[in-house]
Homo-oligomer: A and B are copies of this chain.
Amino acid sequence: MGFWKNFFWGSQGSTSPSPAASPGAVAKGSVDLLDPKHLETVNLDSLQDARIFFSTDPNLDLYELEELCSSVGWSRRPLRKVRKALQNSFLVVSMWEQRGKRRRLIGFSRATSDHAFNATIWDVVVRPSAQGKGLGKALMNHTIKKLRQEDISNITLFADAHVVDFYRGLGFNVDPEGIKGMFWYPD
């Protein structure tokens, strides 16, 4: 797994794209040290000696991801479908906390896209113990930055009512020009 190699070796390099990944998707496996300019709102005291990393490797440990998602109360999803969803996401961002030799998955987001015009962000999650430190904002800014690097100009998402203000603070607009998000579910 190139991610961990890069993580421990401190390289900024990329692994080869997974054969199952969408062609043209955001280059997989890059690990970026958190850009200090995205940490402006982070309470550094609360992070203590932790270092925060981002990865765009879609080959996550699915059990670790499931544990993160269950920490915020999300119900379980079949791992086979989760794996397929990650492989077919245009962008997968994971956020990691490292204290000494101990590393922990503390955040996640992903985006679907047509690789040209639109991207839609899904499954944004930050571990409860890591909330309130500006890390959710840092995760979203990193996600937006990666999509912008791919020349995606229309970034969308569907926000639960209680996080609408969070996304508004990041520059997202609700119902611009009366455009409405709509959902169809099976009967």
Contacts and interface: CB of A to CB of B under 8 A. Distances in A.
Interface of A: 20, 22-24, 77, 81-82, 84-90, 110, 112-118, 120, 122, 144, 148, 153-161, 164, 167-168, 170-186
Nearest to A122: B118
A174 B167 contact: no
A144 B184 contact: yes
B156 A179 contact: no
A170 B184 CA distance: 9
B172 A184 contact: yes
Contacts of A81: 116-117
Given A88-B90, A157-B182, A175-B181, 4 more contacts: A112-B112, A155-B185, A168-B182, A179-B181
Contacts of A84: 24, 114-116
A61 B49 CA distance: 57
23 contacts: A20-B24, A23-B23, A24-B88, A77-B117, A85-B118, A88-B90, A88-B115, A110-B114, A112-B118, A148-B186, A155-B183, A156-B181, A157-B181, A158-B180, A159-B182, A164-B180, A168-B182, A172-B184, A173-B182, A173-B184, A174-B181, A179-B183, A181-B181
